[in-house]
Amino acid sequence: MTSEDVEQRLRDAVRELMPRARADLEALVALKSVADPRQFPPEECARAARYLVEAFTEAGLRDMRTVPAPDGSEAVVGHAPGPAGSPTVLLYSHYDVQPPLDDSAWRTPPFELTEGEDGRWYGRGAADCKGNIVAQLTALRALRAVLGEREDGTGPALPVHLKIVSEGSEEQGTGGLERLVPEQPELFSADVLLICDAGNFAPGLPTATTSLRGIANVVVTVSTLEGEMHSGMFGGPAPDALAALIRILDSLRDEHGDTAVRGLPADGRWDGVEYPAEQFRRDARVLEGVRLAGAGSVADMLWARPAVTVLGIDCPPVVGSPGAVQASARARVSLRVPPGTDAEAAIAALTTHIQGAAPWGARVEVEREGIGRPFSARTDGPAYEALGEAMRAAFGAEMVRSGQGGSIPLCSELGEAFPKAEIALIGVEEPSCLIHAPNESVDPREIERMALAQALFLLAYAARGGAA
């Protein structure tokens, strides 16, 4: 068969497999695999792991099994051999999901895959990241249908050696897989690592995510009094801990809304695809009349500069709050760290800034909660050439390169462990998916096109002879 014949047959095979892809996704979404035993039974994650072991085994992979990670979760791993001397490609995903949050905010049951009037498939994990798992399975099944079996009848005749790793606690940020990499590097070593936990800049626009911000989280506790005091009798001269905390938090941004942590550079520039402000307003669902924060471009602020966010505050709620000066207050602060900035230096700068911004001599305690390094991919190798070719064929458009404001600490760990490997982040998650929010959904066309792109990539990469 010519390469054009193979491409058309793969395209047809993927399209024919889409009903099966929906059945897979329906089964996976029904599993409440939130990796937090305080919210859902651990058996839900165990059932999801077993589903993946069985599904990838049926798709032709060998030795599919679960491996305990240091945080107590289970990673699903396996492999399939390719021709002698062929390169190795690893496909990553994660099967755990975010909790549904406010059930009443969902228009459909969160753990029941439901097709909307817009044709999208709704459910928790439909995009992040179970939709990516389904795209992987669909790609492997299509390759098997078109390329047939190995001569020894032990599985599909893949053009490369293939590894599968699916994480069981990515959404919890407990670092299980990051710590597993140095303990069992043979599970992860590959010439190319496709991190299928990202997505396209816009629906239908093929995108490789090439940079990630790191993360540095702290919990700030401010104390000013031995206990709460009557606001009428003592309010005024009595130092209010909640007011002190508000002053500290306000100091983390300047009058334009830019992050203003002393000692932390905030002038980075993004040289990839631009993010039009109006498109960002729609994607972020910014209310009409509310201005975007910051003085730079959206792409600069989102992918090349630090960003501080107050994630939560412990203080009396409005309903039931007493007429008292508060003795203490607490906040959780997140700092996203851009590539080129050391995460340890960033959290040190944040801590020093917070301590120095305390008014009235208030006592401030800063507790480090978590840290993750930023990541920047090398994009000049044969894998990126092959990926661009495959994406162009699958989507009918040129692949663009984007950053991501979120953090995937595993990428930094993999980059350090395998410095010669090419790492690319791709997937079915685009802004309309509303990942991590109520009413998460996926466009089935993204699953179909991404499955085809992955199948074509394995062929194109093998044709280039693999690693440079």
Q: How does pLDDT run across 84-106, given as a tens digit for each residue?
A: 999 999 999 999 999 998 889 99
Q: Tell me the per-residue pLDDT of 33-87, one tens digit each, with 9 for 90 and over.
A: 999 999 999 999 999 999 999 999 999 999 999 999 999 999 999 999 999 999 9
Instruction: Assess whether pLDDT exceeds 80 at residue 154.
Output: no
Cβ count near 73 (within 10 Å): 25
- Interhelix angle 444-463/382-395, rounded to 10 degrees, is 140
Listed by start position, the domains of the chain span 3-212+374-463, 216-278+295-372
Asked if residues 53 and 64 have their Cβ atoms less than 8 Å apart, the reply is: yes
CA–CA dist 361, 422 (Å, integer): 51
CA–CA dist 371, 337 (Å, integer): 10
Instruction: Assess whether pLDDT exceeds 90 at residue 153.
Output: no
pLDDT value of position 76: 98
Q: What is the pTM of this model?
A: 0.85
Q: Would you list the DSSP string of 205-258?
A: B-EEEEEE-EEEEEEEEEE-SSS-EEHHHHBTTBPPHHHHHHHHHHTTB-TTS-
The four Cα atoms 240, 245, 247, 251 give a dihedral, to 10 degrees, of 170
Instruction: Assess whether pLDDT exceeds 60 at residue 261.
Output: yes
CA–CA dist 330, 345 (Å, integer): 23
Catalytic annotation, pick one of 170, 240, 429, 440: 170
CA–CA dist 423, 401 (Å, integer): 13
Q: Pull the structure tokens for residue 386.
A: 């092959």
Sign, CA dihedral 125-127-129-132, equals positive
pLDDT above 70 covers what percent of the chain?
Answer: 99
CATH class of residue range 3-212+374-463: alpha beta
Q: What is the arithmetic mean of pLDDT over 364-390? A: 92
Instruction: Assess whether pLDDT exceeds 70 at residue 416.
Output: yes
Average pLDDT, the chain: 94
Tell me whether residue 96 is one of the annotated catalytic residues: yes
pLDDT value of position 217: 92
* 207-212/400-404 β-pairing: parallel
Catalytic annotation, pick one of 74, 96, 171, 422: 96
Asked if residues 165 and 180 have their Cβ atoms less than 8 Å apart, the reply is: no
Q: Please give the residue that has the higher pLDDT: either 402 or 349.
A: 349
Q: What is the arithmetic mean of pLDDT over 8-18? A: 98
pLDDT value of position 466: 66
Asked if residues 411 and 181 have their Cβ atoms less than 8 Å apart, the reply is: no
Query: pLDDT category, 467, cuts 50, 70, 90?
Result: low
Q: Please give the residue that has the higher pLDDT: either 174 or 211.
A: 211
Q: What architecture is domain 216-278+295-372?
A: 2-Layer Sandwich (3.30)
Tell me whether residue 429 is one of the annotated catalytic residues: no
